[in-house]
Structure 1
């Protein structure tokens, strides 16, 4: 057989990687938007908290953060349940992976969104205020659509890196494509072939992502004239 009977596990591992990456992306966007808005807030405390979040997370390796957030939280939770004489609560690896990766890349998205917000001409916001739009309506109809035009290139780059970073979940026991192919390779003595397969699957995911991101960029750039040299 082509994949030594591991076809079903490979499909499941690929779906696990895609699902984990997409959910982590959504969470990272939420963290990134909140972080950017806090950085641009007139409140000094919010600005300091957002600055500390983005600086700390971007300074620590992803692998270290994954280990700290998963194992350290599990140990702390075990100590708490023991102290309260409660049944042990195990952290779900999939949920932990989504939250950890989303939290990590939210720090990178914070800087992307902050720069994109600042790139929107202030006159657009003043015009919205002159029309009587409130803050929420201005954000939804004026600020967010224009901000996305500036943010999409950076979001696309971060998304490509996030997909590769999803491989970190293999160290906490989640059966993503890396863990599945490594286990299959060791079992069949065909580690090189299965590692090549994992690389090909990641390449396919990133290629499809690039095409979709290109279409999104074209959509958000409708009506915008490109500069010519």
Structure 2
């Protein structure tokens, strides 16, 4: 009886092996080589030569062309901007716990006509009025250290500053932010707008004022 059961189990196992081997001989499992690269090439060729692709390609090209023309129309190509690094800095004010930012830029007008500057935004912030003074408290909180402001012309929102043809001007702008940061370097963009609503932007880096960095270093030594 036991011998018969063993023989039956052996037959069942052999049947499984036989059917499994036959199943693996199908094209799916046999490892039949397929020309996938050729199929992809034929698919791409059919797409490229289709009318829909031609229409989409023309539409995208027109959209890109219009975008370039629109940007050229909005951009002041006749204006050059250069950051004055030695007069560009930020500091955390001790009197109102806000971040004071000074940005100084030299502007050159290469056009044969004058330009009126109406605004200069720093990452969405508009320039404020001339600050009376920016001071830092000393480590004991008894005395104040006054930070020097740039000596050339100040610009704030609401003014129309005229720059004549083939001339240059140095301007500085004052911004305030409620953001308090412990980093020593800010990266942002500054964008000037004229009376024609044309804009000129540059990417700038604003370091923390060296006097405040020195204060923080002294405080770190005390702690």
TM-score (norm 1): 0.24
Which structure would you say has the larger Rg? 2
- The structure whose residues are more often strand, as a share, is 2
Larger relative helix fraction: 1
TM-score, normalization by structure 2: 0.24
Whose RCO is larger (CA < 8 A, sep 6+)? 1
